[in-house]
Amino acid sequence: MSDQLNAKTALAPWMDQIASAPQILVGYSGGLDSTLLLKFLSQVVDPARLCAVHINHGLSPHANRWQEMAAQFCAQIGVDLHIEKVQIEPKGKGWEAEARDQRLAVFERLMNPGGLLFLGHHADDQAETVLYRLLRGSGPRGLSAMSACRPLGSGQLIRPLLGWKKAQLATCGQQLNLHWVEDESNADNRFDRNFLRNRVIPQIAERWPDFQQSLQTSAQLCSESEQLAEALAVEDMAGLDLRPERAGHSIAANKFAALPAIRQRNLLRHWPHFNGLPMPGGKIIDEVLTSVLRAGEDREPQVIWQSLRWSKFRDRLYLLNAQNLQFDRQLLVWDLKQSLRLADSSLLSAVETTSAGLRADIGAVEIRYRQGGERCKPSGRSRSNTLKKLLQEHGLEPWWRDRVPLLYIGDDLVAVGDLWICEDWSAGAGQRGYIIDWQVAL
């Protein structure tokens, strides 16, 4: 990396994307890195194409003053400014993580298809991230640290300053006569990242002056290892009879068990990621392998972590969205002409047809749920049976049996979700009917 930092050297790799982007957002806190980045972009792009996004967390007594300074600078260089005020309420992650998540949520919401978001993270931030994640026991994915470019929502997040040290940014900012704010909370060593930045990294830098480059090299190697691990997980998944399920997916448990242990763990770590869900750590993976995979067929094992649930049933291993397994026995009336969203966010819909499905002349139905003791004679069967027995024979997973919507007319059970129609309620030849569909999305 050249020692001469300017708009041209910092943004050169991204100029083609900048030229064609329908939207250019810049995360702008008012600090050194974001101020310099916004200035650079205004030098190579018509400022009218830029929009600075300032997020006021309200955590500092100076927050409103910083917002005013951001507005003044944007007015000075002719850039539009979008201001968002957010309230930070840590939910087990801590202030820093919650603030970061809220910022990314704002950026993603503002992103248009094909848009670009520029953030001002620099080499010191990258080194800090690698050390922080190392001390938290992160694997190759975490130690890959921040990427220079990655998808965000319907656009791309770009960090053009990752190869430059903070000292280089400060020198350039002074040469451009820029003014920026200093967040006083950065001196509070109660925060882990501040402790690393203020107490640990200076001693590392004194002993190993080029430590940022060394950590960046390690991060790159970890990124390559993670890409290989993900590719292997994709290859292994292709042989496990993956199939969609209500609220998730399942794989063949016997085929999964035949994989070497290290590849089992690798696949369990990546499987949620393939569906845009959080990746579990080692303790959760161990619990899935011991508590779920090794459980006997007479048990209903499960592991729940964050929004994920792993379960096993009839030699299938399931990965489900645990949030969609929450249940509320709300009674509803459905006219079948429009889709009906149930209390658990599942969706009932009906498609009109002929000579099949639920008779269309029945009018509205009432949605109820199992209480125990229900009986039904599915159309085409010789005799009735208890609903409990019928659901077992059908092979409906145990966690859905109390949740499958039951369609009633008065005291008569006329259909069980989209599983079957009860006798006397099926559309006959030439008669209009409704094909029922019960969807629980991942």
Higher-confidence residue of 198 and 91: namely 198
Residue-level pLDDT at 442 = 60
Q: With a cut of 60, say whether residue 107 has pLDDT above it.
A: yes
The 3-state DSSP class for residue 360 equals helix
Q: How far apart (Å, rounded) are the C-alpha atoms in residues 80 and 63?
A: 19
**Contact by Cβ (8 Å): 395, 387:** no
> Are 300 and 344 found together in one domain?
no
Q: How far apart (Å, rounded) are the C-alpha atoms in residues 432 and 429?
A: 9
- Model confidence pLDDT, tens digit, residues 295-337: 776 677 899 998 899 999 999 999 998 876 666 677 889 999 8
- Degrees to nearest 5, angle at CA 399 with 438 and 305: 110
pTM of this prediction? 0.79
First CA to last CA distance, the chain: 44
Q: With a cut of 70, say whether residue 281 has pLDDT above it.
A: yes
**Contact by Cβ (8 Å): 181, 66:** yes
CATH number of the domain at 108, please: 3.40.50.620
- Residue bearing tokens 């993956």: 242
What is the share, in percent, of the chain residues with pLDDT greater than 90? 63
> Are 34 and 153 found together in one domain?
yes
Q: Which of 191, 223, 255 lies at the terminal end of a domain, its last residue?
A: 223
Residue-level pLDDT at 342 = 86
Q: How far apart (Å, rounded) are the C-alpha atoms in residues 45 and 59?
A: 33
Q: How many domains does the chain have?
A: 3
Q: With a cut of 60, say whether residue 2 has pLDDT above it.
A: no
What confidence category does residue 69 fall into, taking pLDDT thresholds of 50, 70 and 90? very high
Q: Which of 301, 325, 349 lies at the terminal end of a domain, its last residue?
A: 325
Token pair of 358 as six digits: 């639920």
Q: How far apart (Å, rounded) are the C-alpha atoms in residues 89 and 98?
A: 7
**Start-end of H helices in 197-318:** 201-207, 211-237, 253-257, 261-274, 282-287
CATH number of the domain at 293, please: 1.20.59.20
> Average pLDDT in the 228-251 region?
95
Q: Which of 325, 353, 383 lies at the terminal end of a domain, its last residue?
A: 325
Cβ count within 10 A of residue 424: 10
**Contact by Cβ (8 Å): 8, 39:** no
**Contact by Cβ (8 Å): 165, 124:** yes
Token pair of 408 as six digits: 């009633």
Radius of gyration of the chain (CA): 28
> Are 352 and 315 found together in one domain?
no
> Are 147 and 54 found together in one domain?
yes
What confidence category does residue 3 fall into, taking pLDDT thresholds of 50, 70 and 90? low
Q: With a cut of 60, say whether residue 51 has pLDDT above it.
A: yes
Which strands, in side-by-side order, build the sheet including 149-152? 80-85, 50-56, 24-27, 116-118, 155-158, 149-152
Q: With a cut of 70, say whether residue 111 has pLDDT above it.
A: yes
The 3-state DSSP class for residue 301 equals coil
> Are 84 and 196 found together in one domain?
yes
Q: Which of 93-97, 198-202, 382-386 has the lowest mean pLDDT?
A: 93-97
231 falls within a domain: no
163 falls within a domain: yes
Residue-level pLDDT at 424 = 87
313 falls within a domain: yes
Of 252, 275, 286, 284, residue with least CA distance to 321: 275
**Start-end of H helices in 373-437:** 387-394
233 falls within a domain: no
What confidence category does residue 50 fall into, taking pLDDT thresholds of 50, 70 and 90? very high
Domain that holds residue 156: 7-223
> Are 338 and 320 found together in one domain?
no
Q: How far apart (Å, rounded) are the C-alpha atoms in residues 138 and 282?
A: 10
> Are 21 and 103 found together in one domain?
yes
Q: With a cut of 70, say whether residue 188 has pLDDT above it.
A: yes
Token pair of 340 as six digits: 């009906």
Of 306, 322, 272, residue with least CA distance to 91: 306
> Are 315 and 337 found together in one domain?
no
> Are 315 and 341 found together in one domain?
no
> Are 200 and 300 found together in one domain?
no
What confidence category does residue 12 fall into, taking pLDDT thresholds of 50, 70 and 90? very high
The 3-state DSSP class for residue 307 equals coil
- Model confidence pLDDT, tens digit, residues 223-236: 999 999 999 999 99
> Are 199 and 215 found together in one domain?
yes
Q: How far apart (Å, rounded) are the C-alpha atoms in residues 276 and 152?
A: 12
Q: With a cut of 60, say whether residue 1 has pLDDT above it.
A: no
